[in-house]
Amino acid sequence: MNETAPLPTAPGDRIEGYLARVERALERWLPGSETPPSRLHEAMRYSVLGGGKRIRPLLVYAAGEALGTEVALLDAPAVAIELMHAFSLVHDDLPAMDNDDLRRGRPTTHRAFDEATAILAADALQPLAFQVLSSDPALLPFPDAQVALVRLLAEACGSEGITGGQAIDLASEGRQLDAAELEHMYRLKTGRLLRASIMAPACCPPRPATEIRHALERFSDRLGLAFQIRDDILDIEGETAVIGKQQGADIARDKATYPAMFGLEQARGRLAELLSEAMEELERFGERGEFLRSLTRMVVERRH
Amino acid sequence: MNETAPLPTAPGDRIEGYLARVERALERWLPGSETPPSRLHEAMRYSVLGGGKRIRPLLVYAAGEALGTEVALLDAPAVAIELMHAFSLVHDDLPAMDNDDLRRGRPTTHRAFDEATAILAADALQPLAFQVLSSDPALLPFPDAQVALVRLLAEACGSEGITGGQAIDLASEGRQLDAAELEHMYRLKTGRLLRASIMAPACCPPRPATEIRHALERFSDRLGLAFQIRDDILDIEGETAVIGKQQGADIARDKATYPAMFGLEQARGRLAELLSEAMEELERFGERGEFLRSLTRMVVERRH
């Protein structure tokens, strides 16, 4: 898809176009593996490229469609958010954390390289994300948008975002969380970065009205929770080959999950409820919200 | 020191004033240890507060004096840079990296807490630094300055900054670097963040002329290298109790260092040369550069 071509209308083609777009943008921003320190750059590329469903970048583009944001402004936030997602996965997989050997059907970064390289590669993805937001040429004429995006991403990734969520998740192993604690953990660990994906286009011109922002925030709240419950259900039901990681890994670690707490039936019920609430918030976007609606359905009903 | 009081003139009092100022600002930005996830927040505070020479924040304030930058604009970059410095120390100390037990005369973060908590605490310091730059009230009227500061810090901390420097440092253990490789490693590992400290005020209004910026860049280049050579000399000569970490640790790990490569005598000679070159660049700042000059001398001649 090039910059000026009209967007294809079928959601499937739309996805292909955006996937190619974000892949190219990621490729452009990641230092080449021949650039020294090359092993570090190789590990960064390994952690980000080749695999990954790119759900967060797709949500950035889809929310941008709903708001009528120029697509060229969305590449930087799409890339920055995906880099942050990759950072968190690499550290979550470390021996001192979840100690996972497999991710996206391949060895985890510390398995493919070594532990020190994996720690540093992920460490370097974080500043790269902020470098993208502060240096992308398309965003340069809009410093207010850049600052808003930096703040959005920083808040989503810190101790009251994904990193804090991971800390609570680790602390929960082998002890009982109540439903409120579990939802709080989900909100930080997965919800905040999904919310950032949805809200990133709202940081760009044209800035939407407050009520539109609030509708998107409520939507992202439902979506984030639904996403995590779907993840938990897949961990129980999915096959290793399809989900790309060890099936049943959460149960084996005695981790707090929604289905473990309430049973599969109720988890499915809550999922349906959240989906319907999320879709309701999107009604106001009319035709422009079509891609975001179809993406939401795909994310909540995904098999891997 | 309050916002409106005139600056004390003696460099020693100046230092005390700025140290109190940055300590208060750090304290203000770090989440309280009673805020959940509290163990994570406790580890973040442990990693940043109580100890630390705060050389980088002092350089921010001193360069700000030389440029005539309003001091209120400097708190955010001073804090952000110190948070990044703390992040890098916590990860450098991890078992998979330098495996250090002692830092600033206290157990390292992974010793005082545990490995997972140390990894996550440092991970959360990174976005906090960018949150400070994008949210500090004093900087809000200057989005161009905020963006420039974000870019400066992001570039200093990524794979072609401190994190890349640490990767090269690890890769150098037990093998011979040549002088150019060693200086390159120093430039990334220590130089880039020191350079960011010096250049941060130049991102704020009033933006200095290009030739002033270039003089500061040359200065920071000399200072960064001198700083690291002094560090290496201290590792050989210093006593554990004074430098707050294991003396001789670099030699024990067979790390590339300047004195190991060229001998102590030549290292001291290079240091004197760099100091004189650095001071030369500061001449143009006249009286306003006095504090930066005295700080430079202190940093290069420090005993710990």
Check CB contact under 8 Å for B163 and A36.
Answer: no
**Rg (alpha carbons) of chain A, rounded to whole number:** 19
End-to-end CA, chain A: 26
Confidence of residue A304 (pLDDT cuts 50, 70, 90): confident
**Which positions in chain B touch A128 (Cβ < 8 Å)?**
154, 158-159
How far, in Å, are B13, B70, B72 from residue B4 at the CA level? 16, 11, 10
B18 close to A (CB below 8 A):
no
**Which positions in chain B touch A141 (Cβ < 8 Å)?**
none
Q: What's residue A123's pLDDT?
A: 98
Report the chain B residue with the minimal C-alpha distance to residue A30: B159
pLDDT at A1 over 90: no
Check CB contact under 8 Å for A123 and B163.
Answer: yes
Q: What's residue A241's pLDDT?
A: 52
- Chain A interface mutation, best of B117, B128, B163, B185, highest count of A Cβ atoms under 10 Å: B163
Q: What's residue A7's pLDDT?
A: 56
Query: For B136-263, where are the alpha helices, taking DSSP H only?
Result: 143-157, 162-172, 179-186, 192-203, 210-237, 240-243, 249-252, 258-262
Q: What is the pTM of this model?
A: 0.93
Check CB contact under 8 Å for B124 and A158.
Answer: yes
B63 close to A (CB below 8 A):
no
Tokens, residue B298: 């202190």
Residue appearing with tokens 């398995």 = A111
- Chain B interface mutation, best of A119, A142, A203, A204, highest count of B Cβ atoms under 10 Å: A119
Check CB contact under 8 Å for A126 and B126.
Answer: yes
The phi and psi torsions of B7 (rounded to 5 degrees) equal -70, 135
A233 close to B (CB below 8 A):
no
Average pLDDT over residues B75-79: 98
Report chain B's mean pLDDT, rounded to a whole number: 91
- Give me the percent of chain B exceeding a pLDDT of 70: 91
Q: What's residue A5's pLDDT?
A: 47
- Encode pLDDT of B11-60 as tens digits: 778 899 999 999 999 999 999 999 999 999 999 999 999 788 999 999 99
pLDDT at B206 over 70: yes
Q: What's residue B174's pLDDT?
A: 74
Check CB contact under 8 Å for A164 and B115.
Answer: no
Lowest-confidence range among A102-106, A251-255, B87-91, B171-175? Answer: A251-255
- Encode pLDDT of A37-81 as tens digits: 999 999 999 999 978 899 999 999 999 999 999 999 999 999 999
CATH code 1.10.600.10 for A13-301: yes
CATH of segment(s) B11-298: 1.10.600.10
Lowest-confidence range among A33-47, A90-104, A287-301, B163-177? Answer: B163-177
Which residue from B124, B144, B163 is facing A159, i.e. has the nearest CB?
B124
